[in-house]
Structure 1
Amino acid sequence: MIKTFQKLSIIIPAYNEGPTIHLILDKLQQVNLLNNIEKEIIIVNDFSKDNTEEAIKKYMNSNPTLNIQYFKHEVNKGKGAALHTGIQKATGDYLIIQDADLEYDPQEYNLLLKPVLDGFADVVYGSRFMGGNPHRILFFWHTIGNRFLTFISNMFTNLNLSDMETCYKLFNTKVIQSLKLRENRFGFEPEITAKISRVPKIRIYEVGISYYGRTYEEGKKIGWRDGFRAIYCILKYGLLRIK
């Protein structure tokens, strides 16, 4: 059954992304979604210490026709907390998560939308580990760590995902807004995966996407401590099934 909907909310958590935030917004302007779906861009500034806010407001003033909703935290709460804010503010039928950096290509939104529009999926993950799209070669141990976290997450969710930690996740907005989300930092990924897997009759799909990873010198923020937190969250929400 072909599915139709009107609006896609794009949730962008931003922390110290002043130098590049305009570049990702330029890319979003260039995206033409399938079926002429409208774009709602929701930026949540998580108390950046650089010129992120100035860069966003300058862009909004220069592009008044672009539907950008801007929110900010008065203290730094973490990426997960910024996503919580954006999710609750979303008014689109579906929403997708977009980092403020340039590691993921918004032109590939239509790859994630297609299983939904074709009537097959309620949730679509974009995998960096499948398909024939470009992938920057970086960080052997990060790759092993991501695959390990996905493996143990799958053990407790009974899913067969290849990339649980991916940024690109497309959700039915009402479904994700109905979940109680707790993790304020990088534990968001395993928590949302565990909780979405328990939604009755949920249909989860995965598609291959590109990945243009950043080095730490270029602004990458996740580290080994976040990996340990992810394991804790997998056990908390997957094994113990904390709501």
Structure 2
Amino acid sequence: MIGGVIFDLGDTLILGRSAADSGSVWQSMAADLTAWLQHNTSTLPDPAVFQQRFLHHSAQDKLRRDVTHVEYSTAAILAQVYTELGWPLPTPQQAAAALHACYAPTEVHWDPAPGVHQMLQALQQAGCRLAIVSNAGDSANVQRLIDRHNLRAYFDPIVVSADLGIRKPDARIFDALLNQWQLPPAQLAMVGDTLAADVLGAHNAGLRSVWLRTRASRADNVAHTAGIIPDAAIDTLAELPAVLRNLPEHAQREPMLSIIIPVFNEVATITNLVERVRRVPLRHELVLIDDASTDGSRALLDQLAQAPDTIVIHHAVNRGKGTAIASGLAAASGAVAVIQDADLEYDPQDFVRMLAPIREGRAQVVYGARNLESQRPLMRFGNQMLSALTRILYGSQLSDMETCYKMMTRAVYQTLALECRRFDVEAEITAKVLRAGHRIHEVPIRYTARYENKKLSPLDGLPTLRALFKYRFWRS
């Protein structure tokens, strides 16, 4: 039974009707902010420079927040620009008035969603507690919109990311609300229009989720429909009370994905790689295995280990990629695991498409099949030859045995009992999966060959050949 409902604000309770794209709207808002500061303060010696730096930092912070889920408020960006340029900060009253001038012109372009008040009244009559949790860069803007559309009386609490410094889908944004309501997370539902924020945030916090498809065709939602599955979806708010009454007893969830990342002397790429992995809109944990690196990777991994989604394992001596993968799989807790090299040859966004056949029950093992055109001829020939041999020995239709992207369910990866220490582990995994009777489902992925700091050499093909024969004829 649902005892509380949490709503997003923009494009959920209120709908925007501006036809302009968000980039041009933000440029207009930045111009209004600059103009107010220029005409009402004496601390803006160069308006053009301020506006350029403000837009630059806004764009950078938007990219960072999508990875870190840290909210960079507009007030903080304003102060950052002034400090960077060495100018005296406006007073708090001036900053608030400038931000009002920035946001106020946009507020007239929002209308209440059809039937919103009737829906909220029906939920209240059913005994549901109501709250708003909104991702927004300016809290005062959110509060004015709520008052403008007579929504305040329905909600307690009202949570704005700009006040907390964190954004959905970070589960911590719901902590104060859960503490106030004292209801089990499974009795609460999050309703919103954005899969990667509202629905994924609900799942991360253990809440139920209802996706309002007001902006289903927006690019970010289209990109995530295969990987983020709400408990229910509606097209209008009028449908919500009935949907909440009839939610299935057990929530649908995309499975937790354990991402196994062996690391050996990858200090130049590991931070970028981890940021890219964390940007994938799936419930995940990162399992990073340092294989006795000597280039500073160890200290960097210890910093990354402070994140709650990250496990770091250190090998005292270098034991090889195969042993690192075995250590990672032993520590994994996900219903599904995938292997990710620590370089930048692969695109982790492909995990979403790879997971779909597993989530839909069509496969237990999925490989990401590469286009090898970017490889040097000798390496490409070696890969093609090993895949062809796999097809002959194991009767499979596999096109890319050597791909790093091997994804499988927990029922499969817990039975592997890996023995190979080095790169021949790719053949061992494939051989054991096929001999266990699993069909390997392949999904095309993006791939760009890398040669800087490359540890794989043509000579590694010989142990791989031996592993293919060994596990076909001499090992069960």
- TM-score, with structure 1 as normaliser: 0.88
8 Å Cα contact 1:60/1:68 also seen in 2: yes
Query: Which amino acid letter does the alignment assign opposite residue 15 of structure 1?
Result: F
1:150-201 C-alpha deviation (Å, 9 max, x unpaired):
111121111110000000010112322112211010110111111101224x
Aligned to 1:199: 436
Distance (Å, rounded) in 2 between the aligned partners of 1:183 and 1:110: 29
Aligned to 1:226: 460
Q: Please state which structure has a larger fraction of its residues in helix.
A: 2
Distance (Å, rounded) in 2 between the aligned partners of 1:81 and 1:52: 18
Distance (Å, rounded) in 1 between the aligned partners of 2:375 and 2:255: 38
Please state whether the residue corresponding to 2:450 is helix, strand or coil.
Answer: coil
The 3 A distance-change label for structure 1 pair 171 and 57 is: same
8 Å Cα contact 1:97/1:170 also seen in 2: yes
Aligned to 2:265: 16
Aligned to 2:391: 154
Distance (Å, rounded) in 1 between the aligned partners of 2:415 and 2:461: 27
8 Å Cα contact 1:5/1:93 also seen in 2: no
Give the structure, 1 or 2, with the largest relative contact order (CA under 8 Å, sep 6 or more).
Answer: 1
Structure 1 residue ranges without an equivalent (≥5): 130-134
- TM-score, with structure 2 as normaliser: 0.46
8 Å Cα contact 2:287/2:312 also seen in 1: yes
Query: Which amino acid letter does the alignment assign opposite residue 242 of structure 1?
Result: R
Choose the corresponding residue for 2:341, options 90, 96, 99.
Answer: 99
Distance (Å, rounded) in 2 between the aligned partners of 1:149 and 1:136: 16
8 Å Cα contact 1:20/1:101 also seen in 2: yes
Aligned to 2:293: 48
Aligned to 1:237: 471
- Across the two proteins, how many residue pairs are aligned to each other? 226
- Identity fraction in percent: 38
Aligned to 1:27: 276
Moved over 6 A (4+): none
Query: Which amino acid letter does the alignment assign opposite residue 470 of structure 2?
Result: K
Choose the corresponding residue for 1:83, options 325, 336, 341.
Answer: 325
1:118-160 C-alpha deviation (Å, 9 max, x unpaired):
220100000003xxxxx66230111111000011112111111
Query: Which amino acid letter does the alignment assign opposite residue 462 of structure 2?
Result: F
Distance (Å, rounded) in 2 between the aligned partners of 1:108 and 1:180: 27
Aligned to 1:132: none
Q: Please, what is the CA RMSD of the aligned residues?
A: 1.7
